[in-house]
Amino acid sequence: MTKTKRSEQEFRPAKKSLGQNFLVDPNYISKIVDALEIGEDETIIEIGPGRGAITEYLVESGANVVAIELDRDIVSILRQQFASSKNVSIVEADATGVDFERLLEDQKPKTKGQSQSIKLVANLPYYVSTPILQHLATQRHLFARLVLMFQKEVVDRITAKPGSSDRGFLTVLTEAAFDVEKLFDVPPNAFQPVPKVTSSVAIFRPKENKIKDEEKFRKLISMAFAQKRKTILNNLKTVYPNASDSLVRGEIDPTRRAESISLEEWQRLFLAIY
Ligand code: SAM
């Protein structure tokens, strides 16, 4: 990257509304890129490239890079910044609505063609964590792995075990879709501007859900966690007339709270209800 282009980016104030805290510590950038384990002929999708801190390393690795950025001002700067790199496309879009299969199809002529595997990396603002994870879960079959950075409390929530008050709708949905391995925390001073919170990086490895109708599964989990202090039966009975019988058949005590229930129990309950 030339000095002029870098200073143009740095001069532009970060937009708080888009969660723009840019990674500036090269050690953490390297650790994130290492976690992708980029091999030959791979395509890496990056969500929210920002000032291109991670993007630069991806481009240098020789992978096909498709970076999706919502902020139009950043998109035009990134396009200049990477104008001479043949292996990167900067796409202006809201990643929560992107059909990744179609995106990759559209990008094929620009990239080197067929990829051995597709991976995704993102350093995501807090406000978009839930919608993006839900969206990625529905399209996870495309990816060999995802390396995602969220605010630490989001990763704590996603990895919360049964019985933890951190456990919620997002935990169960994520558990059903991915094996999650938390890697490391990233302190506030690794970013510019410096955020108030610590972040965490985790690898998400897609897996098959035993439940094929994931839409209905999502509805069950969302209803069950509607009011966290209520029992599972009280949350479910207004929506599912057979809730009481199904809990018995699924061998789940109806007085338990949703946060105490494991993924295997949710899957059993689903099969009893539907
Ligand atoms: N990856 C860069 C880094 O690590 O320095 C930037 C990270 S910054 C926390 C998040 C980036 O995501 C910003 O550039 C922001 O504009 C972008 N962004 C926010 N919401 C987005 C969305 N829905 N779709 C695509 N990009 C988004």
pLDDT at 7: 53
| CA 94–ligand 1 middle distance (angstroms) | 10
Residue identifier of the C-alpha nearest atom 4 of ligand 1: 23
| CA 58–ligand 1 middle distance (angstroms) | 16
Cα–Cα dist 49/68, whole Å: 7
- Say whether pLDDT at 202 is over 70: yes
pLDDT at 10: 61
pTM (predicted TM-score): 0.93
Mean pLDDT across 239-260: 96
* Percent of the residues in the chain that have a pLDDT greater than 70, as a whole number: 93
pLDDT at 235: 96
Q: Where are the alpha helices (DSSP H) in the chain?
A: 3-11, 26-36, 53-61, 72-81, 100-107, 129-138, 152-158, 169-177, 214-224, 232-236, 243-249, 263-273
pLDDT at 249: 95
Q: Using one digit for the tens of pLDDT, what is the confidence trace for 71-125?
A: 999 999 999 999 999 999 999 999 999 999 999 988 875 655 566 799 999 998 8
Q: What is the mean pLDDT of the chain?
A: 92
| CA 145–ligand 1 middle distance (angstroms) | 19
Indicate if 214-273 has the same CATH topology as 7-206: no
| CA 197–ligand 1 middle distance (angstroms) | 16
Report the relative pairing of strands 64-69 and 199-206 from DSSP bridges.
unpaired
**Residue 233 contacts residue 247 (beta carbons within 8 Å):** yes
Q: Using one digit for the tens of pLDDT, what is the confidence trace for 24-62?
A: 999 999 999 999 999 988 999 999 999 999 999 999 999
Q: For the chain, which residues make up each domain, given as ranges?
A: 7-206, 214-273
pLDDT at 125: 87
**Phi, psi of 163, deg, nearest 5:** 105, -20
Please provide the DSSP assignment of 26-45 as one string.
HHHHHHHHHHH---TTEEEE
For residue 53, the ligand 1 atom closest to its alpha carbon is 5
Residue identifier of the C-alpha nearest atom 11 of ligand 1: 48
122 Cβ closer than 6 Å to some ligand 1 atom: no
pLDDT at 128: 93
Unique residue bearing structure tokens 């993102």: 122
- Say whether pLDDT at 270 is over 70: yes
CATH number of this structure's domain 214-273: 1.10.8.100
Residue identifier of the C-alpha nearest atom 20 of ligand 1: 18
Residue 9's pLDDT band (cuts 50, 70, 90):
low
- Say whether pLDDT at 3 is over 90: no
Q: How many CB atoms are closer than 10 A to CB 245?
A: 12
Exposed e or buried b for every residue in 136-151, given b needs 16+ CB within 10 A?
bbeebebbbbbbbbbb
Q: Using one digit for the tens of pLDDT, what is the confidence trace for 136-176?
A: 999 999 999 999 999 999 999 999 999 999 999 999 999 99
Residue 96's Cβ-count burial label (10 Å; 0-12, 13-18, 19+) is middle
The topology under which CATH files domain 7-206 is Rossmann fold (3.40.50)
pLDDT at 142: 96
Q: Which amino acid is at 143?
A: F
Does the CA dihedral 47-49-54-55 come out positive or negative?
Answer: positive
75 Cβ closer than 6 Å to some ligand 1 atom: no
- Say whether pLDDT at 180 is over 60: yes
DSSP 73: H
Mean pLDDT across 224-249: 95
